[in-house]
Chains A and B, each alone.
Chain A
């Protein structure tokens, strides 16, 4: 473990921390542009965070310590996951052997779990509804996520994201195999669900159908900023897994030089812009599903993951 590697690892976390509002801003801006509106500025999420950090903290009556702990836990969890996945470099850095893909998934879910607890904590009606809805969605999404992870593991015979990245980057036959293509499709549906996009989550946030926003309705000021930042980071992390591990495993720093890391950061932004465009297309073309049809996209994702495993067995 050299100081150079430690610096790179810190760079990975910093990239997630600092670039995640930009990705959110990109999606919000170009979604409006597609609908022929002007849209907010690209750096609007940064301004929002800055504003919220300078606001007064209002705590609801009856809130326990969970109310204060949850945003910090969620934020910290999102700072840990980038250590485990290839954000800038395609080789493991110090501490990235702490956990495999399942471990990363566990820590991601931990953040969501604490936010759901916080929604229930203050006893308000909206928080309870939001928490129960989001838990229901994750009950539907989790088995598929695990199945996708199983599929990835069977594909690469390993649970480490770096091994998967190398396999897909170097073997075109595996990259174009039906198993991998099905896994990509299944993960894309999960990506839409987990990053609060249509067809399940509503695109405008303050309304009756809100799920993620309802859980954090009681938060204000710096704590709200932490929660929002954590959710943007979660989106960035899921995009990273989708791009750097599954879909576009190329253009990462292989030597670990400063220029390479910088180039990788720029390349990551380019890749995310592509994924964000796909997300914007879905958000524009798709209307929100009825409550009782939530399971349909997730069942489709489940079937795709199951087919991927089958296709992989007879590859």
Chain B
């Protein structure tokens, strides 16, 4: 892993941003209202944008500024706006029938974070890196992925599925920003537009579901419609 050496101030800034993103993931996990998920997601994207920009500043990758601006615009503004529009059209404002109570989900998420920490220690030891920032980035990345999977599996509104997917992706993006800051610009752009396509497709799919099945809850999709 080619990792630049960070000053203590930079390291603490990265830690703070990463931990704040993790906290926002927990807010998404514990909230019942779909609108709150979306605001938390938007805020998280802004955190990651700030992380990109500060990484660009401290590690001297000028193209990261562009990535930061694009992240803030696309993930922080455009995606929440699109999802908000889908929400308004569907009229779904919260999960009606939860599979797991939010408190159980929170505790499961905490267990996921502990697991991610253990995995991160082993990974860092295997690669031979002992930097605290790397371990933190790995932990946050893995736990955001685990929580994203948890959200995908215990929620059943179509919108929650989109947001679970986005959280998962945010986690990977956050980890990549800290661990491999010098990724080619093209890859970052591809990821951004990929997400946009995913959300647009999901929007079309959700409207189709609403029209054909009369619901966007995946619980209702078990029976075959001939």
* Interface set of A (CB-CB < 8 Å, partner B): 173, 178, 295-296, 298-300, 302-303, 306-307, 310-311, 313-315
B109 touches A303 (CB 8 A): yes
- 1/0 per position for B102-130, CB-CB distance to A under 8 A? 11101101100110010000000000000
Task: Looking at the assembled complex, report how far the CB atom of A10 sits from the nearest CB atom of chain B, in whole angstroms.
Answer: 43
Cβ of B102 and Cβ of A303 under 8 Å apart? no
Is the beta-carbon distance between B19 and A307 smaller than 8 angstroms?
Answer: yes
Q: Per a CB cutoff under 8 Å, which of B19, B23, B107, B132 touches A299?
A: B107
A291 to B59 alpha-carbon distance, docked (Å): 51
Top 6 A-B pairs ranked by shortest CB distance? A299-B103, A306-B110, A295-B103, A299-B106, A178-B19, A314-B136
Q: Does B135 contact A (CB under 8 A)?
A: yes
Task: Establish whether residues B113 and A302, one from each chain, have CB atoms under 8 Å apart when the complex forms.
Answer: no
Q: In this assembly, does B22 line the interface, its C-beta being within 8 Å of a C-beta of chain A? A: yes
Docked CA distance A311–B20 (Å): 11
30 A-B contacts (beta carbon < 8 Å)? A173-B12, A178-B19, A295-B101, A296-B30, A296-B102, A299-B30, A299-B102, A299-B106, A300-B30, A302-B107, A303-B107, A303-B109, A303-B110, A306-B114, A307-B19, A307-B22, A307-B26, A307-B110, A307-B113, A310-B113, A310-B114, A310-B139, A311-B15, A311-B19, A313-B117, A314-B117, A314-B132, A314-B135, A314-B139, A315-B132
- CA–CA, A27 and B12, complex, Å: 38
Could you say which of B102, B103, B114 has the most chain A C-beta atoms within 10 Å of its C-beta? B103
Query: 20 additional contacts, CB 8 Å, given A299-B102, A299-B103, A303-B109?
Result: A178-B19, A296-B30, A296-B102, A296-B103, A298-B103, A299-B104, A300-B103, A302-B106, A303-B30, A303-B107, A306-B113, A306-B114, A307-B19, A307-B110, A307-B113, A311-B19, A313-B117, A314-B15, A315-B15, A315-B132
- Kindly provide the distance from the CB of A251 to the nearest chain B CB, expressed in whole angstroms: 27
Q: Mark B68-105, 1 if CB is under 8 A from A, else 0.
A: 00000000000000000000000000000000011110
Number of residues on chain B facing chain A (CB within 8 A)? 23
- Considering the complex, give the chain B residue whose CB is closest to the CB of A309: B114
Question: Within the assembled complex, what's the spacing in Å between the Cα atoms of A110 and B212?
Answer: 61
State the Cβ distance, B104 to closest chain A Cβ, in Å.
8
Answer whether residue B16 sits at the interface, using C-beta atoms and an 8 A cutoff: yes
A302 with B15: CB separation less than 8 A: no
B117 lies within 8 A of A310 (CB):
yes
Near A by CB (< 8 A), chain B positions 1-30 give 12, 15-16, 19, 22-23, 26, 30
Interface SS of chain A: helix, strand, loop or mixed? helix
B119 to chain A, nearest CB (A): 12
Residue of A nearest to B105 (CB): A299
Give Cα A303–Cα B22 distance, bound, in whole angstroms.
11
Q: How far is the CB of A312 from chain B (nearest CB, A)?
A: 11
Distance of A205 from chain B, by nearest CB (Å):
27
- Quote the shortest CB–CB distance from B10 to chain A (angstroms): 14
Distance, CA A311 to CA B113, complexed state (A): 10
A178 to B113, CA, bound (A): 15
- The interface bits of chain B over 126-158 (1 if a CB of A lies within 8 angstroms of the residue's CB, else 0) are 000000100110010000000000000000000
Which A residues are in CB contact (< 8 Å) with B136? 314
Complex contacts, A306 vs chain B, CB 8 Å:
110, 113-114
B101 nearest CB neighbor, chain A only: A295
Q: How far is the CA of A121 from the CA of B52 in the complex (A)?
A: 63
In Å, the complex CA distance between A162 and B202 comes to 56
- CA of A313 to CA of B101, assembled, Å: 29
Chain A residues closer than 8 Å to B19, beta-carbon distance: 178, 307, 311
B104: chain A residues within 8 A (beta carbon): 299
Q: Which of A303, A307, A314 has its CB near the most chain B CB atoms (within 10 A)? A: A314
> In the complex, what residue of chain A is closest to B15 when comparing beta carbons?
A178
* A314 surroundings in chain B (CB, below 8 A): 15, 117, 132, 135-136, 139
